[in-house]
Amino acid sequence: MEIFETPLPGIGVRYEFTSELGDHVGVVIRRDGKRDVALYDRQDPDSCRGTMELTQSDAGKLAELLGGTNITARLDSLRHMVEGLAIDWVTMPDSGGLTGKTIGSGHIRTATSASVVAVIRGDEGIPGPGPDFTLEPRDTVLVMGGDDAVGEARAILIG
């Protein structure tokens, strides 16, 4: 299946593909993080049968339901294999906590023994960010460690 990408200056990026069943589907990923999903008419690809707007969170939930990512299942499996391991996804606030600051400035590893394993920023995954990595509003931070340590790390991250 071929996916076509079209930059939309000032708006974001549009992706389009034709499903195996012949449906023409478009997804616009806007700069504000929202997504627009469009289903085009089979007979007239310029005519849209319907659209749906999704927030970034809604898009993530839909991706999980459609099987687009199995990372959550794999992490849950890992958690059951390692007794006492806790995993948390922390969304950075617009201000406060470590927003606008480096991971190292929070001394998370030293103070809690938990680790920041990855950061998701928009559509980009950043594995193993170093102590000089600056956290931005709405970054999603993956923290791993013991139950108490992860809770303490969350408190440091969001303030």
DSSP code per residue over 12-69: EEEEEEE-TTS-EEEEEEETTS-EEEEEE-SS-TTSEEEEEEE-HHHHHHHHHHTTS-
- pLDDT confidence of residue 96: 94
Q: How confident is the model at residue 112 (pLDDT cuts 50, 70, 90)?
A: very high
List all residues 6 or more positions away from 137 whose beta carbon is below 8 Å from its beta carbon. 92, 93, 94, 95, 99, 100
Does residue 72 register a pLDDT over 80? Answer: no
- pLDDT confidence of residue 38: 92
CA-CA-CA-CA torsion for 149, 69, 16, 56, nearest 10 degrees? -30
**DSSP at 106:** G
Query: 124-127 and 115-121 as β-strands: parallel, antiparallel, unpaired?
Result: antiparallel
Going from N- to C-terminal start, the domains of the chain cover: 4-65, 71-158
CATH, range 71-158: 3.30.70.1450
Confirm whether pTM is higher than 0.75: no
The arithmetic mean of pLDDT across residues 106-115, rounded, is 94
